[in-house]
Structure 1
Amino acid sequence: MAKAGRGADQYMLRFPDGLRDRIKAYAERVGTSINSEIVRVLEREFPEQWPVDDRLEELGEMLSVLSAGKDDPRLDEFVQKFEETVEGIVSGRVTGVDPFVRDAVDGMWHSYKTRKSEAALEEEQDAQMDYTEEELEAHRVTGRFEKYAVPPPQTPDPFRDELHLRDVLPARSFADLAEKLGKGDLEAAAKVVLAMPKEEIEKRIKFLQLPVIEQYRRRGEEPPVDPNTDPFER
Structure 2
Amino acid sequence: MAKQGRGSEQVMIRLPDGMRDRIRVAAEKHGRSMNAEIVAALEVHFPEPFSFGKRVADLLVLARGLKQLPTTASVDALIQELETTIEGIAHGQAPELGEEVRSQIDEALHEWRMHKASDYSARVYKWMDDAGEKWEDHLPQSPDEEGRE
* TM-score clears 0.5: no
- Superposition TM-score tier, normalisation by shorter sequence: 0.3 to 0.5
TM-score under structure 1 length normalisation: 0.24
Higher relative contact order (CA 8 A, sep 6+): 1
- Structure with more of its chain in helix, by fraction: 2
